[in-house]
Amino acid sequence: MKTSTLGWLALTTATCVALCIAMTLTHLPADTHPPKLLPELNGQLQAITDIQVNDATDHRLVTLHKTDHGWQVIPLDFPADPSQVATLLDQLNTLTVVALKTADPSRFADLGVAEVTLPTPVPAHSPSLRLHIEGIQPAIDLLIGQPAGSLGSYVRRRTESHVSEVRPAIRLPRSPLEWVDHTLIDLAETAIQSIDIQRVDATSWQIHRQSPEALHTEVSPPLTPRELPFAGAADPLLKNFSPLSLVNLRAASAASQGTDRSVVKRFDGFDLTVIRQGRESPCWVRLNATWDPTHTGDNDRDPKNSAVVQRVAQFNARHHDWEYQLSSERCSALFQKRSDLLRITP
């Protein structure tokens, strides 16, 4: 075969490959502003009432539902992490299309954006998700597929026949637990007046401060200077509540199996009791707040008019029906024995 003929065939082949690539992936012109994937969200984020995350077969994994008191995680019916929801809404509002991947339906499955109906098998590790957003008209249905490198994702709107590469990458938690607000309470160290630790297998003891300005806590029953490792050895206990976070949660049992207790009193009269449920591992606790007017600086001692009483009622309404798993480290610190202070080193 002549050299000129071989050259012509090579050129023809290269041209065909280039055309195939161009048909598969169409990058937007560099001099144009990348269009938003969901332009209808502009100015409409507050109108969104529900965000539903489904798996590849459209089985519902979690729903975020907006109420008058904030976002709730369904089916747990527990408050969602407000910062996580805000981040998701901002991400959806700023998603930009950097390339049109393909309009060939035969490639949708490879990119994770094909319509899947049972009993079609779906790999257990499949990243594909379906996002349904309600509250705006029309509702948004988004099929989220494979990652596009480390910075983007392949997506397809159900109302469109082409796949887009968008940025930033969309990473949605699949478990309801990953969406809940893990912070149970956040008490500033300076706000805590005392912590009373009551154990069933040891003598109760307490740390306390005379004022918010006190440099260190005092221990009661007191330790001798010889026993106390250093001044302020008990101060780290104040950090256990800033914040106190859950690892897991479950519905509260009908009968409390409370054993050890840690009672925190604030200078404003807000008292918190952490009640350990049994002595087994992992560590589960229940929370209960009360108002102690002898510790408050409120001029008006009428419970109906006290801001602290209102916070107590709101706290109990949120936590009354739940038990929370704490980390083993936090549990040990909350219910430690007085003798444990002797082993602390600065």
State the pLDDT confidence band at 34, using cuts at 50, 70 and 90.
confident
* Residue 19 sits in the same domain as residue 157: yes
The confidence score (pLDDT) of residue 11 equals 46
The predicted model gives 275-285 an average pLDDT of 93
pLDDT in tens, 291-337: 988 765 554 556 665 788 899 999 999 999 999 999 999 999 999 99
Work out the percent of the chain whose per-residue pLDDT is above 70: 83
Residue 259 located in a structural domain: yes
In the Cβ-directed half-sphere of 269, how many Cα atoms lie within 13 Å?
20
pLDDT in tens, 135-153: 999 999 999 999 999 999 9
Per-residue pLDDT at 282 exceeds 90:
yes
* Residue 150 sits in the same domain as residue 281: no
**DSSP secondary structure letters along 10-68:** HHHHHHHHHHHHHHH-EEPPTTSPPPBS-GGGTTTGGG--EEEEE-TT--EEEEEEEET
Cis preceding linkage at 225, omega within 30: no
Residue 34 located in a structural domain: yes
Domain limit, last residue, from 125, 149, 179: 179
Distance CA(259)–CA(131), nearest Å, equals 44
The predicted model gives 80-97 an average pLDDT of 96
The confidence score (pLDDT) of residue 33 equals 72
The confidence score (pLDDT) of residue 97 equals 96
pLDDT in tens, 217-247: 999 998 887 787 788 889 999 999 999 999 9
* Residue 245 sits in the same domain as residue 168: no
* Residue 160 sits in the same domain as residue 46: yes
Domain limit, last residue, from 129, 162, 179: 179
Q: Are strands 322-326 and 248-251 parallel, antiparallel or unpaired?
A: antiparallel
Per-residue pLDDT at 10 exceeds 50:
no
Distance CA(115)–CA(134), nearest Å, equals 20
- Domain holding 89, by residue range, is 14-179
How far CA 35 is from CA of 39, 54, 159, 164, in Å, comes to: 8, 26, 17, 11
Residue 5 located in a structural domain: no
* Residue 58 sits in the same domain as residue 96: yes
For the chain, what is the domain count?
2
* Residue 191 sits in the same domain as residue 339: yes
Residues contacting residue 109 through CB under 8 Å, at least 6 positions apart: none
Distance CA(244)–CA(115), nearest Å, equals 43
Q: How many CB atoms lie within 10 A of CB 46?
A: 10
Residue 2 located in a structural domain: no
Residue 1 located in a structural domain: no
Residue 4 located in a structural domain: no
* Residue 249 sits in the same domain as residue 261: yes
* Residue 118 sits in the same domain as residue 210: no
Q: What is the CA radius of gyration of the chain?
A: 29
Residue 213 located in a structural domain: yes
* Residue 148 sits in the same domain as residue 215: no
Distance CA(258)–CA(286), nearest Å, equals 8
Q: Residue 284 — φ and ψ, nearest 5°?
A: -115, 140
Residue 316 located in a structural domain: yes
What is the average pLDDT value for the chain, to the nearest integer?
86
Domain limit, last residue, from 179, 204, 229: 179
b/e sequence 310-334, b meaning 16+ C-beta within 10 Å = eebeebeebbeebbbbbeeebbebb
> In this predicted model, which residue has the larger pLDDT, 229 or 175?
175
This prediction's pTM: 0.83
* Residue 175 sits in the same domain as residue 223: no
